[in-house]
Structure 1
């Protein structure tokens, strides 16, 4: 049924739960998985870092952190016996939903598995909803996971 599963990851617990869910599903159906991380480079665009560093240093740190998250996720999938790879999206002005939709199309994904924090009220309004963006723009079905007990 599902042969190519895409998982947006950011290192958060909801994202890690989505990754574990996708690994379990992929093992059951024999699917290949691809992890995608979209670098939030809005700090880079401001050109200001209150800690005194340059925005270029911040962008480098964001990229290095993203690569570590991706490599750890791929290692977990491979340890489960799956074929897995990753994509890092670090284009200035990249929106999460658009970037995930492009990554899904480029991979030939037939499912996206995404975690949600389950925010509501003012925090959802202020922080936005990455999962909602993915759902609205996805070219394929989306499985949204939430950590147990939340």
Structure 2
């Protein structure tokens, strides 16, 4: 099982990564971590370093992958579509991602990457709050 885990450095995404790592261990799967950004910064490195530490502490059979992808238009709906493109192009079996508990106004304006991926019904999705 190949599991895609989009991360953004938030607590929800860290919980999703931890959940996906455990899922990969239990199901003999391979986690593939991707961080979407509109600009690579020191924060990007810190997010990926944290993911490396979490992955290194697990007993995963296959080598986990970490990738950073740049998104020109930066909103949650666009990120959700980028996640779906990655799922389709690489044939992932499952997506595990965190979901921010934004307010109604923020969701109406910015959307939600998790909702975009979930509503597409392209692949099984686990949402971790």
Task: State the TM-score bracket (shorter-chain normalisation).
Answer: 0.7 to 0.9
Counterpart-to-counterpart distance in 1, 2:44 and 2:40: 10
Quote the RMSD (CA, aligned, Å): 2.0
1:84 pairs with 2:46: no
Pairing of 1:40-59 with structure 2 (within 5 A)? 41=38, 59=39
Task: Indicate which of 95, 105, 117 corresponds to 1:134.
Answer: 117
Q: Which runs of 5+ in 1 are unaligned?
A: 42-58
Q: Which runs of 5+ in 2 are unaligned?
A: none
The answer on whether the counterparts of 2:80 and 2:112 sit within 8 Å (CA) in structure 1 is no
Which residue is 2:23 aligned to?
25
Greater Cα radius of gyration, structure 1 or 2: 1
Change (3 A) 1:86 1:14: same
Counterpart-to-counterpart distance in 2, 1:138 and 1:89: 22
Render the CA deviation track for 1:55-94: whole Å, top value 9, x for unaligned: xxxx342xx4223312321331132022311121114236
Render the CA deviation track for 1:117-150: whole Å, top value 9, x for unaligned: 233422322342121122234631111111xxxx
Task: Indicate which of 24, 45, 61 corresponds to 1:67.
Answer: 45
Shift in Å at residue 21 of structure 1? 0.7
Change (3 A) 1:92 1:112: same
Q: Give me the TM-score of the superposition, normalised by structure 2.
A: 0.83
The answer on whether the counterparts of 1:36 and 1:87 sit within 8 Å (CA) in structure 2 is yes
- Give 4+ residue runs of structure 1 displaced > 3 Å after superposition: none
